[in-house]
Structure 1
């Protein structure tokens, strides 16, 4: 995982004895040589002035929570700059493409249309319409980071470091907001649709395409723009069919992110390293503060809980992307000559880690890569051949019916169950769903 944020590590400790190197019992070096405790009030005053100035820069809103989203939005908007409105002719072409794609998709899937409105977004409009979802994705990890500082300290150190940790949480929110804003500003110019990263970022039922990014993609392809536009409209419409008619799907994706955050553990060696020769007077210097935050004050470790949550997320993303690819090829394959080539382009774009994955990995240490997308697409294709589109899509009725990670490696057993090899458990579950409407349990991967 590249570009790990805020000192993320994979849990390896290169020096397990480092904790023994500072026997002073002073976790922040407050009594160290060269620092007068009487200066602490002045330092806090200067820090307050720095926070006040940062708040003015972020706008009228105030930070509420672990991330300064006012700052994030301001920086993203500044990065985007002036954007001309989408011409009416372009918006009409996109609406026509989605309408045509919906007609063709009707013959390829049992799930009905999920779009209620079609729009053409500028990068600024994408930012405005997706920021609320980014908050839901970033808050769990940022919240865990902001609270884990104090909980990881010994009890006697918490009282001493309390004011400092509170200010570090404020600065952490600003640093996270700064990174988020810069990343979203870049991402807003590169995403193709509202579901381009496999998550429902925009409002429910709103099919959104990004003309500026679509034009940039078309320049490097052999297919004409109208064909690329129709293909992307079909992908967007197919995603919305899933997210609109599989009610548990969106919550499962967000739950996987939350489970990743809750599984976070802290290696205190980062704080202890910082304590060696640390001078709190440097905190009054914004440049020194930024450098301190970029180095990371703590080392969240990869844990079994996080690994399991990441596998669930990757598997679910792969199943979504594989299903969309299968359905789109079935709907467009005989109508658009470039469907197979465009599908391979999108598969590679997702599988090799595009801008969305890099953005999210940088922000919260969590990749959004569907690592087994090819295997998932092959499973959906074989399942379609074996049981038909209606039975294939019925698998989405409940998370317990979906293939798991092992099924992507060995799909034969799953397909055998679907065609009658062992359906007793599935039949009973479907009966329970019809009687009780079923729980929204976790995906069993």
Structure 2
């Protein structure tokens, strides 16, 4: 009897345990596994691994890459999970009902004080007291939107750098048995490209989660970093951080809570009532990130001496090497817009907050100075984000912006100060921060409606002011 012919519906035995083959198929988008890759796996002895241990490892790998995008995009679920674990490791108790009530009352009082110094609308805003985990959950989608262009760019650059590195090594430059004889390492890397992009996307998601988790431990209010991370109607205070802040200043917590409630309410009013502001701030960050140049030469240099299959070694090798030292013209323009907008937001908040709390809080000056020092020094999480996306989120020209709004107020009261937000075309720009008095002069010039009235009078054959000026001899 002769052997039965091969049946096409039965796949050829790859010699690799089914559990591992399933994981590899998942990482390559369900495509058939390349024979060279299978031979490499057998050469590494993976066909001899204990099945129970392999199942455990396979589960860990699948969990790491579950939902990962082949483009290297951030996995928001994975980043959120890492951020929540980061805050939980330091302790993140639920907010007590009494603290929730105190926070609501503080925000209500803050809005009453603000109503006396600004007409910027606050209708519908509600005070919230959040745990760190709640802040993570609410803000992570915005962070993902901001950093995703960087994640994809880093993923592409890493894949290209690793492929080039292995291609330059050639078969003889790799450890014996790592690839089958006669295999081109660069060609093999082409087959593993989707897996590498998912790996880099997962590593970036891990970094983002750690950064957001660390920042959640530092922020005092929902939008303290000057970005519209929390949408209206929520005015968010972080009770644990505020208590630590007050203790460090030796100021009682209720005063600190009220002062920060005024600041956050003012900031939330601005983002809520000025429809063009939040979109322009977020667009400036995205534009900066989208045009970021990844320094592939530095990445290749970092990868030259490490095992490309070791994720931890890869991450350490590229630390501090991601971004080209020179910003592009588009990045410089986006950064100028962003720095100006952040400075204007915080400058206005400073001026309005000082006016609102001056008559009510005995330690208002000390609290205001503490906030300025805190903002100037930054924190470890801000440094983490600077390393992650190459962007410093602190407003550099805040003092200039505060001086500009103070000058507007001195010239035309709160109405003239707040009118700067009426339209993006009349809002101050970077040049106005250099010449605040010139901006104040232009804002105080006759308005368009006044000029229209004068023109209308001329068209009717009247001299300007004829209707109101009863001069002798006319």
Gaps of 5+ in 1: 1-35, 429-445
Q: Does 1:133 align with 2:142?
A: yes
> What per-residue deviation string (whole Å, max 9, x for no partner) do you get for residues 273-300 of structure 1?
367577xxx3334444444454757757
How far has the Cα of 1:355 moved from its partner? 4.4
Residue 237 of structure 2 is matched in structure 1 by 209
1:86 corresponding residue in structure 2: 95
Distance in 1 (alpha carbons) for counterparts of 2:270 and 2:407: 19
Q: What is the rounded CA distance, in whole Å, between the counterparts of 2:381 and 2:107 in structure 1?
A: 23
**TM-score, normalising length from structure 1?**
0.77
The correspondence for 1:399, drawn from 409, 414, 424, is 424
CA RMSD across the alignment: 3.3
Q: Which residue of 2 aligns with 1:239?
A: 267
- In structure 2, the CA distance between the partners of 1:91 and 1:393, relative to structure 1 (3 Å rule), is same
Unaligned runs of 5+ in 2: 1-35, 47-53, 168-185, 453-474
Alpha-carbon deviations, 1:129-159, whole Å to 9, x = none? Answer: 11111111221322333345678999xx998
- Contact 1:401/1:426 (8 A) holds in 2: no
Q: Which residue in 2 is equivalent to 1:385?
A: 410
SS of the aligned residue for 1:401 comes to coil
Which string of whole-angstrom CA distances, capped at 9 and with x for unpartnered residues, describes residues 7-27 of structure 1? xxxxxxxxxxxxxxxxxxxxx
8 Å contact 1:141–1:258 — kept in the other structure? no
8 A contact 1:115–1:240 mirrored in 2:
no
Name which of 63, 67, 83 aligns with 2:68.
63
Whether contact under 8 Å (1:187, 1:359) holds in the other structure is: no
Confirm or deny: 8 A CA contact 1:115 1:241 kept in the other structure: no
Whether 1:185 and 2:213 are equivalent positions in the alignment is yes
Cα contact 2:302–2:318 (8 A) shared by 1: no
Question: Separation in 2 of the partners of 1:400 and 1:112?
Answer: 20
Contact 2:299/2:317, CA 8 A, preserved across alignment: no
Question: Aligned match of 2:130 in 118, 121, 125?
Answer: 121
Structure 2 vs 1, CA of residues 244 and 275 (structure 1 numbering), >3 Å: closer, same or farther? closer
Q: Distance in 2 between matches of 1:89 and 1:322?
A: 33
CA distance in 2 between counterparts of 1:271 and 1:304 reads 23
| Residue aligning to 2:116 | 107
Kept in 2: contact 1:95–1:118 (CA 8 A)? yes
Q: What SS does structure 1 have at the residue aligned with 2:271?
A: helix
Describe the superposition over 1:21-76 as per-residue Cα deviations: whole angstroms up to 9, x where unpaired.
Answer: xxxxxxxxxxxxxxx99965669998x99886344257xx5124511333322222
Q: TM-score, normalised by structure 2?
A: 0.72
1:168 to 196, 208, 211: 196
- Partner SS, residue 385 of structure 2: helix
Whether the aligned pair in 1 keeps the contact of 2:303 and 2:318 (CA below 8 Å) is: no
Equivalent positions of 1:284-323 (< 5 A) are 284-294=309-319, 296=321, 299=324, 301-323=326-348
For 2:420 and 2:359, how far apart are their aligned partners in 1? Answer: 26
What's the counterpart of residue 82 of structure 2?
Answer: 75
- Asked which structure has the greater CA Rg, the reply is 2
Residues 270 and 296 in structure 1, CA contact (< 8 A), matched pair in contact too: yes
Following the alignment from structure 1 to structure 2, what is the Cα–Cα distance between the partners of residues 54 and 38?
A: 18
- Identify the match of residue 286 of structure 2 among 258, 262, 271: 258
Q: 1:339 aligns with which of 350, 354, 364?
A: 364
Map 1:13-32 → 2, pairs under 5 A: none
Distance 1:333 1:174 in 2: 49
Residues 87, 214 of structure 2: 8 Å contact kept: yes
